[in-house]
């Protein structure tokens, strides 16, 4: 029979005697451990004996592992016997030994310590779980001197995560258990995150437990914020609130994440939001990613953006509300990321958003996520797509594009603008017309959405050089869409141009059309036109004027279109105008007035009155900007005359909710019109180019205008033939046009290249001659050219000034040649019936 079982059968008196005799034979470390336990556990740890045990452990560190094993044995036995007082004493002793001992043998002691903590965490008693967690947290804060190669924290991650999801019936106990679980996870992170020898806490198997546990407790943060404790009570409330503790732990976790660990930390967040349907309310999802973006290192921001973009693509067939939630979260995250470092994800982000925009348009048209529908436009898909939800998603995408672009520097913003414009489908003769369930054209919706996005990007765009803001390739594509039949597209193009040109915040001052007697009340910000702007206008002004003129001819224009045209004219006058531009703008507006007067386009009454009113408002503005008194007086007189006799030609009567129009505009008298001759006269006296002012503005019609109307090839050719035949004085004698073939086009291109090469070589030779030739040779050359020019001029003058032949006939000169006898006009005799 074993001695231990035999002693247990002895009477109590004899048992005490035997133990007393054998106690001196026990190892010293056991006796020291036993002495720290009092007879009554309520008395607590015996401090003097604990000091002896600590001194012994420091003196004999090789015994530390045996001390830990024995303490672990006693604790397990006390837990089984429900002697929780002694359990608390054992854990206190372990904590003190851990704090005091940092020798090389600490690893073996730690194994015993973790074994005891695990035993407490396995208990069903909440107090023991909390006790074990507190001990583990103290251990986590200790910096060990020696590495550990075989320690594992898998159990603790799982157990602490389980405690974070506690559903105890008692609310107070449940809160304490959850907070203990969060503290435990925080301890695990602190212990392992910076130690390469420890288990990799960033592995997906661990992150998939830690992150959802923290987010689960973070969901109650709104309730905590609604209570809004005072600053003095904040520390106490912070300890009592699992949501705030979880947020602090999550921030610490993400703040320690290295470049290669961001993906493993973000993926569980996305999965958690998917599983709990937290994208649709959006509030919690936005809160989570704000925490993430402000916690990670700035140079890692683009990794989070990439994760969100990938998740958006993965959910491209999800409900529109889910995709809208992801997009809005992406918007918030991108704005924060732009303040740090977005890196190469700028165009990637815009490309993904534009792709999602196109998919949403397809979904709305087909009514199906797989794009299948029958001939009647009925969806063959299994999911029901709500069009209003898709529109909400599209608006969210456009808003995200604008908010993110507003944070980018100018050079990146310019790249984004060009990138979006390159995605806009332009009118084409061979483009198929596709209709969906709503009967709308896919290309038209795509154009509208992309132009909306471009408008959002252009708002607030500041660029001192218009050549950089509106490069030729961008402006050509943008103005091509301005000539389409769709009024909504035209309006977007006008607003985009206004956004680019307005660099001083004057746009809102021209939101309504009026004829102010004093424009100083507008407090306009006007700067002198720079050299770069002058170059821009020399290159593109005629192109802008032509599109403005052609836009005015559209029958489908509304009040918003005329307000946008007025704003565009006004901003060009303020931002980009010099004397030449002012002259051209006045000519353009007078041509618009003629357009309403002649009415070759058969415009409705409202459109004609609107054009008259638009011209009056602009000329009133430009006259006060030029500050030429005679010009201002003429404009003022015409406006006053209209106020008395033709108010329907002024913006105050036209651009109102109920326009007051005239049914007969054919009898407009000259007093109601701004006269080009008068304006040319008064401005010519102030130094403006009167010759140019006297010329009427005539836009040059190009093939681009016709193609933008989506006419067929036959219509385009017939229109060209009709115009040519109408301008020909003798239609029957016209030579048939040369047939255009591939060979003729090729020959034209080759010839033009050869001519350019010859011209370039000639210029080079001239420059070289003037640089290297002696002065006498250059002078002789110039003198010869001057003599040649003078002789040519003399010939021209002789032909043009020579009077007509005499009515009396001819006379015979020398050599028998008949010669016309020329006499001055004033000496000529005319018949009596000749009347001038």
Residue with the bigger pLDDT between 790 and 225: it is: 790
Q: Judge contact between 435 and 441, C-beta under 8 A.
A: yes
Residue with the bigger pLDDT between 56 and 509: it is: 509
Give first-to-last CA distance, the chain, whole Å. 158
pLDDT number for residue 593:
92
**How does pLDDT run across 359-386, given as a tens digit for each residue?**
998 888 887 776 544 444 444 444 667 7
Mean predicted confidence (pLDDT) in 538-549: 91
100, pLDDT greater than 80 = no
Mean predicted confidence (pLDDT) in 458-466: 82
The rounded distance, in Å, linking the Cα atoms of 72 and 80 is 12
Under 8 Å CB-to-CB from 444, ≥6 apart: which residues?
486, 489
Alpha-helical runs (H) found in 773-807: 775-801
* Cβ count within 10 A of residue 755: 10
Distances 551 to 54, 426, 704, 746 between C-alpha atoms, Å: 93, 17, 14, 35
φ, ψ of residue 219 in degrees (nearest 5): -65, -20
Per-residue pLDDT band for 223 (boundaries 50, 70, 90) equals very low
Closest CA to 266 of 221, 226, 317, 301: 301
User: H or E stretch including 806?
Assistant: strand 805-812
Residue with tokens 């006939």: 809
Structure tokens at 508: 């809102």
pLDDT number for residue 746:
57
Portion of the chain with pLDDT greater than 90, in percent: 29
538, pLDDT greater than 80 = yes
The rounded distance, in Å, linking the Cα atoms of 159 and 801 is 112
Helix (H) and strand (E) counts in the chain: 37, 2
Under 8 Å CB-to-CB from 423, ≥6 apart: which residues?
354, 450
pLDDT number for residue 357:
92
Counting every residue, how long is the chain?
836
Q: Judge contact between 418 and 473, C-beta under 8 A.
A: yes
pLDDT number for residue 368:
75
The rounded distance, in Å, linking the Cα atoms of 461 and 816 is 83
The rounded distance, in Å, linking the Cα atoms of 419 and 458 is 13
Lowest-confidence segment of 130-144, 602-616, 812-826 by average pLDDT: 812-826
Structure tokens at 276: 């709990």
The rounded distance, in Å, linking the Cα atoms of 822 and 374 is 88
Cβ burial of 53 (10 Å; 0-12, 13-18, 19+) is buried
Per-residue pLDDT band for 742 (boundaries 50, 70, 90) equals low
Lowest-confidence segment of 127-136, 209-218, 663-672, 686-695 by average pLDDT: 663-672
DSSP 821: E
The rounded distance, in Å, linking the Cα atoms of 227 and 217 is 17
The rounded distance, in Å, linking the Cα atoms of 296 and 253 is 9
Structure tokens at 336: 């924060």
Mean predicted confidence (pLDDT) in 17-29: 58
Per-residue pLDDT band for 588 (boundaries 50, 70, 90) equals very high
The rounded distance, in Å, linking the Cα atoms of 696 and 587 is 6
Closest CA to 474 of 454, 492, 488, 491: 454
The rounded distance, in Å, linking the Cα atoms of 69 and 185 is 26
Mean predicted confidence (pLDDT) in 522-535: 86
CA 379 to chain centre: 33
pLDDT number for residue 739:
57
Residue with the bigger pLDDT between 536 and 826: it is: 536
Distances 211 to 204, 223, 325 between C-alpha atoms, Å: 10, 21, 20
47, pLDDT greater than 60 = yes
The rounded distance, in Å, linking the Cα atoms of 384 and 611 is 47
Lowest-confidence segment of 69-73, 158-162, 169-173, 280-284 by average pLDDT: 69-73
**How does pLDDT run across 651-705, given as a tens digit for each residue?**
999 999 888 888 777 777 888 899 999 999 999 888 888 888 888 888 866 655 4
The rounded distance, in Å, linking the Cα atoms of 586 and 580 is 10
Residue with tokens 């209003």: 388
6, 11, 17, 18: CA torsion to nearest 10: 0
Mean predicted confidence (pLDDT) in 803-818: 42
**What is the chain's mean pLDDT, rounded?**
78
Residue with the bigger pLDDT between 773 and 340: it is: 773
236, pLDDT greater than 80 = no
pLDDT number for residue 744:
66
Portion of the chain with pLDDT greater than 70, in percent: 76
Max Cα–Cα distance, the chain, nearest Å? 176
Mean predicted confidence (pLDDT) in 422-438: 59
pLDDT number for residue 709:
46
φ, ψ of residue 794 in degrees (nearest 5): -60, -40
Closest CA to 717 of 738, 703, 701: 703
Q: Which of 35-49, 449-463, 706-720 has the highest mean pLDDT?
A: 449-463
635, pLDDT greater than 80 = yes
Q: Judge contact between 123 and 129, C-beta under 8 A.
A: yes
Which residues is 811 bridged to in the sheet? 819
The rounded distance, in Å, linking the Cα atoms of 410 and 431 is 35
* Cβ count within 10 A of residue 795: 10
């Amino acid at each position: 029979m074993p001695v231990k079982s035999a002693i247990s059968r002895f009477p109590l008196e004899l048992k005490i005697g035997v133990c007393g005799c054998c106690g001196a034979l026990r190892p010293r470390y056991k006796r020291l451990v036993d002495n720290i336990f009092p007879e009554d556990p309520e008395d607590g740890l015996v401090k003097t004996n604990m000091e002896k045990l600590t001194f012994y452990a420091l003196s004999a560190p090789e015994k530390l592992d045996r001390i830990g094993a024995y303490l672990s044995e006693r604790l397990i036995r006390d837990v089984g016997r429900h002697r929780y007082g002694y359990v608390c004493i054992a854990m206190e002793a372990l904590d003190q030994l851990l704090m005091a001992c940092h020798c090389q043998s600490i690893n073996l002691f730690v194994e015993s310590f973790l074994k005891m903590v695990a035993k407490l965490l396995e208990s069903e008693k909440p107090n023991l779980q909390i006790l074990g967690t507190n001990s583990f947290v103290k251990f986590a804060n200790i910096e060990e001197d020696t590495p550990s190669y075989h320690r594992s924290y898998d159990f603790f991650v799982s157990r602490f995560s389980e405690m974070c999801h506690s559903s105890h019936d008692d609310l107070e106990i449940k809160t304490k258990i959850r907070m203990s679980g969060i503290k435990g996870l925080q301890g695990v992170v602190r212990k392992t995150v910076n130690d390469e020898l420890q288990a990799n806490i960033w592995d997906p198997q661990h992150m998939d437990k830690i992150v959802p546990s923290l987010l689960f407790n973070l969901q109650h943060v709104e309730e905590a914020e609604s209570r809004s404790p005072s600053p003095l009570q904040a520390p106490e409330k912070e300890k009592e609130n699992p949501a705030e503790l979880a947020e602090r732990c999550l921030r610490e976790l993400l703040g320690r994440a290295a470049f290669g660990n961001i993906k493993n930390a973000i993926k569980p967040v996305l999965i958690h939001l998917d599983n709990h349907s937290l994208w649709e309310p959006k509030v919690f999802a936005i809160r989570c990613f704000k925490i993430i973006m402000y916690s990670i290192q700035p140079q890692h921001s683009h990794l989070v953006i990439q994760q969100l973009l990938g998740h958006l693509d993965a959910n491209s067939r999800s409900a529109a509300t889910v995709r809208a939630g992801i997009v809005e979260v992406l918007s918030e995250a991108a704005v924060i990321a732009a303040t740090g470092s977005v890196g190469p994800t700028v165009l990637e982000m815009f490309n993904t958003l534009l792709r999602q925009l196109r998919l949403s348009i397809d979904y709305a048209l087909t009514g199906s996520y797989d794009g299948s529908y029958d001939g009647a436009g009925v969806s063959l898909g299994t999911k029901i797509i709500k069009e209003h939800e898709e529109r909400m998603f599209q608006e969210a995408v456009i808003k995200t594009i604008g908010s993110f672009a507003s944070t980018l520097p100018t050079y990146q913003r310019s790249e984004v603008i060009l990138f979006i414009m390159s995605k806009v489908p332009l009118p084409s003769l061979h483009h198929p017309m596709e209709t969906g369930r709503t009967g709308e054209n896919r290309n038209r919706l795509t154009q509208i959405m992309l132009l909306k996005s471009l408008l959002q990007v252009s708002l607030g765009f500041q660029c001192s050089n218009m050549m950089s803001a509106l490069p030729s390739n961008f402006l050509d594509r943008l103005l091509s869409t301005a000539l389409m039949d769709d009024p909504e597209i035209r309006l977007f193009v006008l607003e985009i141009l206004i956004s680019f040109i307005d660099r001083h915040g004057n746009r809102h001052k021209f939101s309504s059309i009026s004829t102010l007697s004093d424009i100083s009340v507008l407090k306009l910000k006007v700067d002198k036109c720079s050299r770069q702007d002058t170059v821009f206008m020399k290159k593109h002004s005629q192109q802008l004027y032509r599109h403005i003129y052609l836009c005015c001819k559209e029958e489908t224009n509304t009040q918003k279109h005329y307000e946008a045209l007025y704003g565009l004219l006004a901003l060009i006058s303020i931002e980009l105008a010099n004397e030449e531009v002012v002259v051209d703008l006045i000519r353009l507006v007078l041509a618009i007035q003629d357009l309403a007067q002649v009415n070759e386009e058969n415009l409705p009454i409202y459109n004609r009155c609107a054009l008259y009113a638009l011209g009056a408002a602009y000329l009133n503005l430009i006259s006060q900007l030029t500050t030429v008194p005679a010009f201002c007086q003429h404009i003022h007189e015409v406006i006053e005359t209209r106020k008395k006799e033709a108010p329907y030609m002024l913006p105050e009567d036209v651009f109102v909710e109920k326009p007051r129009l005239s049914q007969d505009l054919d009898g407009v008298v000259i007093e109601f019109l701004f006269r080009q001759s008068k304006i040319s006269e008064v401005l010519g006296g102030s130094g403006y180019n009167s010759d140019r002012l006297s010329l009427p503005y005539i836009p040059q019609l190009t093939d681009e205008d016709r193609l933008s109307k989506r006419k067929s090839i036959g219509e385009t050719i017939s229109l060209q033939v009709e115009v040519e035949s109408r301008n020909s004085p003798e239609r029957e004698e016209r030579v048939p046009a040369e047939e255009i073939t591939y060979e003729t086009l090729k020959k034209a291109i080759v010839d033009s290249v050869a001519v350019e090469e010859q011209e370039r070589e000639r210029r080079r030779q001239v420059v070289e001659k003037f640089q290297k030739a002696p002065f006498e040779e250059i002078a002789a050359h110039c003198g010869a050219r001057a003599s040649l020019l003078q002789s040519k001029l003399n010939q021209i003058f002789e032909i043009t000034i020579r009077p007509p032949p005499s009515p009396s006939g001819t006379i015979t000169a020398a050599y028998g040649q008949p010669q016309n006898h020329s006499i001055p006009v004033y000496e000529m005799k005319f018949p009596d019936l000749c009347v001038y």
